[in-house]
Structure formats: structure tokens, C-alpha cells
Structure 1
């Protein structure tokens, strides 16, 4: 660990004068003054205690600002302040021969900045966390034999796959042309399973995604996790865990935790570029009106039994299955009146009906709603048209990637 600070300092500006600290008047002068003190400490021989104290003051003050109202109303300036606080805390943790625990704490600090802050200094927190992760990877090599046995046991378990009636099956086509897909499915907004269009992904080839692989590239990284089998349940909540903690608790069930957890993340691929390099945008996204920057890429990783209740999204969706299988049912927007959406604004895009166990007395019209269904297997990509209702249940340990585009 002794050489760690030299690696980190090599990516920092050469001196205090070249270290940018510019904020609008929305940030109080007293906060800017503490930021300047922390910058000065980064380039001087201050004690680690004083560095940590100032960094924590910045983090605590900006955290309050980040949590005062709804997220969309949080000013970006305060998100930048929070990121600077994370950077200075990492400096305090890593300046003097840090322990393994301090390095892990520094990784978590970077992740909090990447999740809650805004990019600063050419996204320097992303650069630093990759340096830190390299150090962690060198030092963590334990429990492999026991874990491999548990992982193999999970993979061997055969899920109960629902029988799909031919007349209800989502159609499948292998590598349709852009023109054919646009004419026959995109423009008329019809669901389709596209086969063979992600066979070239590294996630299915050079770097096949597995528990072992996720541990190796992201095990120490802190990510948001949904706790509960579905987001409409009263006990559903969100928390922050490392990927290793999530796998141990909800995939391998080492802690004996009851219930389900789901890593459903909109920022995972930006936060962990190693995973982003393992996937590619489907070519068919070029048929959209926006550019690549407007495509939202989401990760969905969880055990068997996790459910996305019947709902619809405001954009076109390509759902790519990488690991495991999922049962999916689709309903046309034309049958919305039979699907009983929640009345609240928050859940207006979600049905009240439990699709595989409907209450026919409360929701009598639901049984008359026509639908299509499928089991999505690794390598399959499901096109879910905009506002098309869909219900998803993981049949086994599953990792999917969805692309939302317009």
C-alpha cells in the first residue's frame, strides 16, 4: 500500500494553483473557505486528522443540501461540493500508508461521490477508484474453493420454466434487417424477440458474466440495492451495499437473510466501466430520434423470484438477457382499462393486479385482457414497445441489461 499515494497524486493537478475550485454564489463563502483549506492540506504535510476533519465537514454540510428536497431540485453546485468532499476524504485516508480497511473505505467514498455527486476535474473520482480497485484486487484472494462449490450448486438448479402456448408466444426473429424491424415491429409497436444480435458481446464470450467475474471487477464497489421481491410491496426499500455484500446476502444467502434483494441500477455502467466494456448498444437503437447520449442503460441483477410488477415505461426498451432466464408477459396499451393502474401519480404506470395470482373479484376485467408471453434466455433481446405493459419474473439467478431509447 506504500506506493498507493504516489499513484493517486500522479493523477491530481501538479500543485495547489492548478487545482480548480470555482463555485457560484449559491455555495456559501464559509464552505468555499473550508474547501480551500482542504485543497491546501492536500499539497502540504498536514496531519491526517486535520485533513479528515475538514473533509467530513464538507461532506456533512453538502449531504444536508443534497437531502433537503426532491433530487431533481438539488442544485448541481452542491453535488460538486459533495464530490470534492469525497476527493479530500480519499486524500486523508490514503496519504499515509493506508490499511486494507482504509483503502476499502476510500473505494466506498469514491462510489458515494459517483452516485450522489457530480463529475469534477474530468471525473477524477472514476480515475482514482480504478487505482484503488487495483490495490484491492491484489490483496483479496480468499474462500475461492468454497464459493465455487456454492456457485456451481446455484447454476445446476433447474428452474421451473412455464409452458408457453404457441398462440401466445412473442414472435422470434434472428437478426432482422433494420428496415424489416422498423417496418414490421417498431412503427406498429409490436413486441419481438431478436436472436443473435448480442452474440458478439464480451459478456457472453471473453468475459462471461458470473458471480466470480462480478466479484473480480466490482466486488468492493458500493451500489444501490432494492430490498424486497417487488417495488409495490410495503416492506420494499433501498439500501447501499458492496457487490460482494449483495452476493453474499441475497444470492448465496450466507447470512441467512430472509427475503429478496435486487441490484437494479441506472448508473452501474457509468460507475463501473469494466462492465460497460462488456456490452454494446444494439444497432437497432440507431432508428431512434436521439443520439447515443440519450440512451439509458440499466442493470438488473438478482436471484430467482424477483419480480417487476406489471407496468409500462415512457420509452422504447430493448431487454437483453445475459445470465439466467426470465418469464415475461406483455399487454398492449389498448387494454389499459383492463389492467387497473394505481390511481396515485407515483404509481400510475403500474397495475394493481398480481399477474400470476389475480384477484378476479377486485379486477374482473383482467381475465379478458389479451397478452403475449415468453421465457427470455441468455442471448435473447426482447423489444418492449413504448408504453407496452410488461410483467417480469426471474426464474433463476439472472443478469439483464435494458436500453431505454426514443
Structure 2
């Protein structure tokens, strides 16, 4: 088992905007909110997104943006394409089959609906999610909240390499399980492109695609030197990630750390995240 430290958990039922500011945003410390979205229509009930057939029947004709390539997140390293949403849902569902997953390593293209404004393409699905109340109120005197919402729908085993974002991030999981590993901003991550060069899409990305891969010398060195903060999110769970914290995310097959230590093989993952700028 890797050396991971559990991220602190806060009760979403007792959270207020003031506590969110003082205990998370101002202190810039991550936190897990179990069940924060358990009552979202996207998570449970007749509109749950786990119902593939319903999503495809109602919204399959809508065109959505996906990335195609080996590694997600380096925006200028992947080709973006537009595909019918229903086709992508079939792709996610079929990718959960072992024989299809094996083919994907050699023949089939890899796609990811990641960091996508899904609701611009499928506006009806926006009614299935809601920014938690404790994250809605902006700091006093700072004006209205301007949270940006993105979707992350990935095949089994889909990963986002270690990277950081310039904004505060609340990730809410909807379907499947997702491992999130966090590292403090002060950790010196190996990078393909130096921080002072390249595009903004490249400067915040580490060389390390998967820190669980001990065959990667850089990943093995990182694991030996730094204890990551870790959580496995299930449906309805949320994770606050402060701005500039390095983080790695991966679809995994179950809720335990033992299951999360290995690449996922059977469970697609769906999530929504909200970004908002740091108050000035």
C-alpha cells in the first residue's frame, strides 16, 4: 500500500459559508464532505445519471466536446472533437468490459469528457446539480459568486496527471469512485515545461502521469519523499481542493484505499466541479 494520509472530513450539514471561508478557503486546507450531494437528482432518484439508457434517450443527440489522446489535461497536446453525447455514453459503458479495455491499450482511441461545460451543450442536465449553499456566499464585500461548473465523465481507469489550478475547486462525485491525491503547493514537482516557459496549460502540469506507478522513477521518488493526502470519493461525496495544491485524480473500482492503489478496470466515473477565484 502507498503511504497516504487521509484528508480531514467535515460534516456538510453543519457547514456554513463563514466556516467554509475560515476553515477551508482562508486557511487553504483541503476537506472532504461526505454525502454533500446525496440528494442531487444526478446522484439518486429517477433522474440519476447512473441510468445510462435514460441519459442516452433524452440527451444522446446533443453534441458534446471530448478530448482524444493518451494523456488528458495538457490542452495543446490533445485533439478536441465533437461527438454525440449518446455515443460517448456508449463508449464509457463499453470500456467497462475487460475485452474492450484490453483493446484500448493498442487499437481503440481514448476519449475523455473532461473539463467540459456540459451544461452549455445539454442544458437540461443543469437542473440535476446544485452548488452547495455553504460554497455560494462570496466573502464579505467581494461581490457575487462566479463559480464555473465543469463535467468530468471518464472511462474505467481514466486519470488526470498531477497538476494544479489557479482557482479554488469543489469536486463533487456523481457516479463510480474516484481517487484523489493532493500535495502541498510547496512540493517540487518534476515538470515537462519549466514554470517560466510554455503555455498556461503546460506550466501547471507535472511529469508524473500516475503517482501509483512505481515503474516510473519520478513517481517512485515522489512517493518515497512525500506523503500524499488521499481520499476515495463515492457518489454524492465532495472534495474541496485549495488553489495551487497539486492533485491527481483517477477512476477506481471501489471505495477502499486498497482498491484505489491499483488502476481501475470496471467502473466509469462521473463528476462535477466548481471553480471560483480567490478573493482579492
Tell me how far apart the structure 2 counterparts of residues 164 and 363 of structure 1 sit (CA, whole Å): 10
Matches within 5 A, 1:150-189: 168-175=5-12, 176-178=14-16, 179-189=18-28
1:397 pairs, out of 244, 254, 268, with 268
Tell me how far apart the structure 1 counterparts of residues 238 and 219 of structure 2 sit (CA, whole Å): 34
Q: Verify the 8 A CA contact 1:316 1:386 in the aligned structure 2.
A: yes
What residue ranges of structure 2 are gaps of 5+ in the alignment? 253-266
1:196 pairs, out of 29, 35, 43, with 35
SS at match of 2:135: helix
Q: TM-score if structure 2 supplies the norm length?
A: 0.76
Write the deviation string for residues 164-189 of structure 1: whole angstroms up to 9, x where unpaired: 86x70111122142233332222111
**Distance change in 2, residues 1:391/1:252 (3 Å):** same
Alignment: residue pair count: 240
Structure number with higher strand proportion: 2
Q: Which has the higher contact order (CA 8 A, sep 6+)?
A: 2
Matches within 5 A, 1:1-400: 168-175=5-12, 176-178=14-16, 179-206=18-45, 207-210=47-50, 211-231=52-72, 236-253=78-95, 258-288=108-138, 289-292=142-145, 294-335=146-187, 337=188, 339-341=189-191, 342-343=193-194, 344-346=197-199, 347-354=202-209, 355-357=211-213, 359-360=216-217, 364=221, 367-395=224-252, 396-400=267-271
Write the deviation string for residues 236-272 of structure 1: whole angstroms up to 9, x where unpaired: 4221110122123343159976243211253211321
Q: Verify the 8 A CA contact 2:169 2:276 in the aligned structure 1.
A: yes
Q: TM-score if structure 1 supplies the norm length?
A: 0.54
What residue ranges of structure 1 are gaps of 5+ in the alignment? 1-162
Offset of residue 405 of structure 1: 0.9
Tell me how far apart the structure 1 counterparts of residues 43 and 89 of structure 2 sit (CA, whole Å): 20
Tell me how far apart the structure 2 counterparts of residues 362 and 215 of structure 1 sit (CA, whole Å): 38
SS at match of 2:249: strand
Structure number with higher helix proportion: 1
Tell me how far apart the structure 2 counterparts of residues 242 and 279 of structure 1 sit (CA, whole Å): 22
Aligned-residue CA RMSD in angstroms? Answer: 2.7
Tell me how far apart the structure 2 counterparts of residues 383 and 218 of structure 1 sit (CA, whole Å): 30
- Larger deviation, residues 313-322 vs 227-236: 227-236
Q: Verify the 8 A CA contact 1:329 1:373 in the aligned structure 2.
A: yes
Tell me how far apart the structure 1 counterparts of residues 80 and 136 of structure 2 sit (CA, whole Å): 34
Q: Verify the 8 A CA contact 1:164 1:373 in the aligned structure 2.
A: no
**Distance change in 2, residues 1:316/1:232 (3 Å):** closer
Write the deviation string for residues 270-292 of structure 1: whole angstroms up to 9, x where unpaired: 32121000011121223434524
Q: Which residue of 1 aligns with 2:255?
A: none
Q: Verify the 8 A CA contact 1:311 1:390 in the aligned structure 2.
A: yes
Larger gyration radius, structure 1 or structure 2: 1
